[in-house]
Chains A and B, each alone.
Chain A
Amino acid sequence: MTTEIIYSAVGEAIRTEAERVLADGTVAAVVGYTMARRKGSAQPVVLTKPEEANQLIFSAACVNNLAVYLTKAKKELPREGRIGIVVKSCDLKALVGLLGESQLKRDSLYIIGVPCVGVLGSTLQPSVELNAETVADKCRECDDRMPQGADFVPTVALPASPALEKKYAVEIARLEAMTPAERWSYWQEQFSKCIKCYACRQVCPFCFCEQCLCDRNKPQMVEGTPRPAGNLAWHLVRAMHLAGRCAGCAECERVCPMDIPLNLLNRKMSRELKELFHSEAGFEVREKGPLAEYNEQDDQSFIK
């Protein structure tokens, strides 16, 4: 039950802090989580008054990455003033990326970091206990449970992280061991499920383009229809565009109605870029990501 104790302390601290920053005018609004209708479930909320701060909660069901509310979904935010935002460390990495890509300004944010021991993999049963079975796959591989560089982080002692099987790492290794043909058929099976609902794009903090390349028809770079060739192209373009930027909030995978292992591609690319260019997304605000810079000594063993 330690999780519940930790998160209730976190929730308390967030409420107090949110009330304070709303009351003293530090921020114009706070984006956080509140209780949803089903028992135990949570949903994003935008608060603008100090007296609303008591609505804020934090629990293992607070799965969303709220960073997206600062860019694409910012219509709900006041246009003026600083915005407070509640972030887990994985969400914070997205914020860091967005800062580096000129989508946000640090001084217009008030970052309330959450000491995190993980969230649920599925919110179908939001009240279920957080344990080795129910925890999200991304949390199994998370080493950064305390958000770094936030404006406020509740002082809560976290227990040592349990050693859980790193499912992405295992799955990537399994796929890498296959022949190209086997991998091809694995991914075709996955991609064939895609219905091109673009929920993955909608929820991704980094898919902030006003017009997606894949929606263009002059020229049509990527087929728009949910059929095999177009599906493959979409997922490749998505993975490539996120390479070096995605820090693994795994929202794409969570929202995919067809259960395509989208984050697997992102994790693979992240690993490759780390190996090739010693670059990992989300740790510091960088002027240039790994694919926007170069080193004259970069590996070129693949080039004849």
Chain B
Amino acid sequence: MHHAKPKHEFEPKIIAFVCTWCTYAGADLAGTSRMQYPANVRLVKFPCTGRIDPVFILKAFQQGADGVLVSGCHPGDCHYMAGNFHARRRFAAFRKLLEFIGVDLQRLQFSWVSAAEAGKWVEVVTELTERVRAMGPMREFKDLALEEQWSGSLTTPELQEAYEAI
């Protein structure tokens, strides 16, 4: 009964940093409710969005993520009272920094998804996946990584050959 899924040229890697109490549970509920969403997202579970260090977002992009999602409890619902409030400030500042150095913020999504909001989880993940898919791969960080591996230029055919062999 599977309907043919459209094949895309590019499947983005999406990494989601979520808190265990709300968004992880919301994603669980999407499963129990048998909702469907793109298979691009990989979850990293935290006790609280307050635990999420901005460096993780950076690290995710460096490791080849094309889009990053950070999601936790709605304000006032934090299991630890205030973790998400601290996170909200931290990320409000960090995204401004990323924007300033030229990261397209379309690739970075923040959301509040409660343990009951399976539908919202599906919506957020689907929307981000589709948006990033349309944007194409996150070249910037990958190019940086490539530069690390090769600092010279391919001036001779021998070098070119050696490079391709790698």
Contacts and interface: CB of A to CB of B under 8 A. Distances in A.
Contact of A300 (B54, B75, B86): B75
Nearest to B96: A272
A232 B151 contact: no
Contacts of A133: none
Nearest to A273: B93
A213 B76 CA distance: 31
A180 B94 contact: no
Contacts of B40: none
Contacts, number: 118
A229 B88 contact: no
A299 B101 contact: no
A195 interface: no
A125 to B, nearest CB: 33
A223 B148 CA distance: 11
B97 A303 contact: no
A239 B97 contact: yes
Contacts of A221: 55, 59
A232 B109 contact: no
A299 B92 contact: yes
B148 A229 contact: yes
A229 B144 contact: yes
Contacts of B59: 221
A298 interface: yes
Interface residues of A, number: 50
B82 interface: yes
B159 interface: no
Q: Which of B76, B97, B140 has the most CB of A within 10 A?
A: B97
Interface string B86-121: 101111111111111111110001111000000000
A99 interface: no
Interface string A233-253: 101110110011000000000
Nearest to B108: A302
B29 interface: no
A183 B55 CA distance: 20
Interface of A: 175-176, 178, 180-188, 213, 221-223, 225, 227-230, 232-233, 235-237, 239-240, 243-244, 265, 268-269, 272-273, 276-277, 290-296, 298-300, 302-304
The list of the 3 closest CB pairs from A to B, nearest first, reads A184-B102, A183-B102, A294-B85
